[in-house]
Structure 1
Amino acid sequence: MLITLEHAEKVRIKRGRLDITKNETAKRLNVTPRTLQRIEAGNYDAPKRIYQSVMDWLIEDI
């Protein structure tokens, strides 16, 4: 499942808004820091579990 550039931007914006580090963000998403780099770069063909984790984290504010 593709994490687009728009998703990546939203992850970076939320991380900045929460003022948390990349390592803390990776822990909250239950991914490695290297995977978080790929997520934040965008156009990442993520496994379903990672995609779901990112989407859940992005919509938890709603």
Structure 2
Amino acid sequence: MIEQWRKSSYSGGTSDEACVEVAGLAGTVGIRDSKDPDGDRLSVSGAAFGVLVEQIKRGALDRP
């Protein structure tokens, strides 16, 4: 399977922006740091990724 990593259109598109990238990987969602594409990666279930996205949208993970 060829990894198709992508980042949010809200990232600004420049390489110096701090951003994460995601990819569908054999039944999971891969998450990596866009500044270190060869570094560590996180792999979570689609359901867990959906929960994370909903929490982000609600602001549940925002710092005060």
Length-normalised TM-score, structure 1: 0.33
Q: Which has the larger radius of gyration?
A: 2
Length-normalised TM-score, structure 2: 0.32
Q: Of the two structures, which has the highest relative contact order with CA contacts closer than 8 Å and spacing of 6 or more?
A: 1
Q: Which structure is higher in helix share?
A: 1
